[in-house]
Amino acid sequence: MPSSTINKSLPFALSLGEPAGIGPEIILKTWAERSRHDLPPFFVIGSLEILTKTARELGLDVPFQPISKATESGDIFQKSLPILLLDHKADFNFGKASPQTAPLVLKSIETAVQLILEGQAAGLVTAPIQKSVLYEAGFTCPGHTEYLAELCSSNTPPVMMLLSAELRVVPLTIHRAISEVPGAITADLIEQTCHTLHAALKQDFGIETPRIAVAGLNPHAGEDGSMGQEEQLVIAPALERLRNQGMDIRGPMPADTMFHAAARATYDAALCMYHDQALLPLKTLDFDGGVNVTLGLPIVRTSPDHGTALDIAGKNMASPNSMINALKQAEKIHLNRMKSHV
């Protein structure tokens, strides 16, 4: 693990995200809420011009202080928002993402990862990116998570967890068409994902004996093969092998009975077969406050569980709740990793 995981005094790095979206806005609002939520010190990696324009246009009273190194953040955080400046020339317009700002967006993420790996920051909280304009600028990774794994030179495929105060969910397959999901579900993927999830529940969440519930793919978890055979042929055998390795794993379970309050009390995380199966219950329980956590990385990384929201950018309508929770969750994971390395 990088040295940042054993140093409580380090600040957290916030990447700027898409300038034309709500990322800069929720960063500013998060800093304004720092005392009320007892937030740990953080700094932003990006452009003073972009943050100044956002504050001015939205009427947000946030003072800024450029810094030359991450460790300066703690001394000034309570009075000003620390900014580690990157060179940037392109302007932006709210609601209109442009490939011209893509180099800045990517450099912000890259710099944050480098600082964490060097032991200068405790973890990373990423503001939302607009992948479509990054692709136009030559970005080749499928998304944020894969890019972070590449920057960290991680040998373990990262796993996406979404969480709120009441639920932790992991989608086995993520951004796939429903028609592609059955073919993407393999025993190897299930076992690999469960191993990563199990280890993270212990290290990052401090759960000594994790309990994992696994959803079936089909209605009623296939109902003994009458509604689909993925449960019998792929999912159940993989789970049995994991149980034989000592994991507390339940399933495959009918997804429609997994997420009421009494059911949620019986497990620590739910593994779901596809994107909406995981995110529908989470966003129903906590639409504004959900957090995205990347499991399996050598660094701590969280993010708000929402996108760039270009439709409301520049209108002072964005809630910072998810960003605030992402920062709180990053601190909790950081502290749990410290304990696990004592």
Any idea what the CATH number is for the domain that residue 31 is in? 3.40.718.10
Q: What are the Cα distances from residue 129, in Å, to 303, 310, 324? A: 11, 11, 17
Are 117 and 10 within 8 A, CB to CB?
Answer: no
Same domain assignment for residues 12 and 148? yes
177-204 burial code (b ≥16 CB/10 A, e <16): eeeebbeebebeebbbbbbbbbebbbbb
Q: What is the pLDDT of residue 88?
A: 81
Asked whether residue 206 falls in the same domain as residue 337, the answer is: no
168, 28, 78, 110 alpha-carbon torsion, rounded to 10°: 70
CA trace torsion 241, 244, 245, 249 (10° rounding): 80
Q: What are phi and psi of 223, to 5 degrees?
A: 45, 65
What pLDDT does 317 receive?
Answer: 95
- Structural domain containing residue 150: 1-158+289-342
Mean pLDDT confidence for 60-88: 93
Give the model's pLDDT for residue 8: 56
Q: 258 and 180, same structural domain? A: yes
Q: Which of 7-11, 129-133, 222-226, 245-249 has the highest mean pLDDT?
A: 245-249
* Cis ω for the linkage preceding 99 (within 30 of 0): no
Q: Are residues 177 and 311 in the same domain?
A: no
Residues 205 and 91 in one domain: no
* Cβ atoms of 324 and 33 closer than 8 Å: yes
Listed residues 249, 267, 285: the one ending a domain: 285
| DSSP secondary structure letter of residue 203 | H
228 versus 83: the higher-pLDDT residue is 83
The pair of structure tokens assigned to 63 is 């003072």
Place of tokens 């034989």: 244
Angle at 81 between CA 78 and CA 85, to 5 degrees: 145
- Residue 14 has φ and ψ, to the nearest 5°, of -115, 120
User: Are 10 and 142 in a shared domain?
Assistant: yes
Residue in 156, 152, 199 with CA at minimum distance from that of residue 4: 152
Give yes or no: residues 14 and 75 share one domain.
Answer: yes
Tell me: do 71 and 193 sit in the same domain.
Answer: no
What band does 76 get if pLDDT is binned at 50, 70 and 90? Answer: very high
User: For 229-274, how does the pLDDT look when each residue is reduced to its tens digit (9 = 90+)?
Assistant: 999 999 999 999 999 999 999 999 999 999 999 999 999 999 999 9
pLDDT band at 192 (very low <50, low <70, confident <90, very high): very high
Tell me: pLDDT of 3 over 60: no
Q: To the nearest whole percent, how much of the chain has pLDDT over 70?
A: 97
Each residue of 212-235: pLDDT tens digit?
999 999 999 988 889 889 999 999
Residue 232: other Cβ atoms inside 10 A: 15
Query: Has residue 296 got a pLDDT over 80?
Result: yes
Do 128 and 189 fall into the same domain? Answer: no
Query: What's the confidence (pLDDT) of residue 1?
Result: 37
Q: What is the CA radius of gyration of the chain?
A: 20
Q: Which of 245, 261, 285 is the last residue of a domain?
A: 285
CA angle, 255 then 191 then 305, to 5°: 55
Do 200 and 174 lie in one domain? The reply is yes
Say how far apart CA 259 and CA 244 lie, in whole Å: 26
More confident of the two residues 74 and 29: 29
How many domains does the chain contain in total? Answer: 2
**Strands 124-126 and 301-304, how do they pair?**
parallel
Tell me the pTM.
0.91
Whether residue 105 is found in the same domain as residue 130: yes
Backbone dihedral angles phi then psi of residue 153, each to the nearest 5 degrees: 55, 45
Q: What is the DSSP string of 69-113?
A: SGGGHHHHTTTSEEEEE-------BTTB--GGGHHHHHHHHHHHH
Last residue of a domain, one of 285, 311, 333: 285
Give the pLDDT band (50/70/90) at residue 341: low
Q: Are residues 143 and 179 in the same domain?
A: no
Whole-angstrom distance, CA of residue 316 vs CA of residue 23: 12
Token pair for residue 86?
């990157």
- Asked if residue 116 has pLDDT above 90, the reply is yes
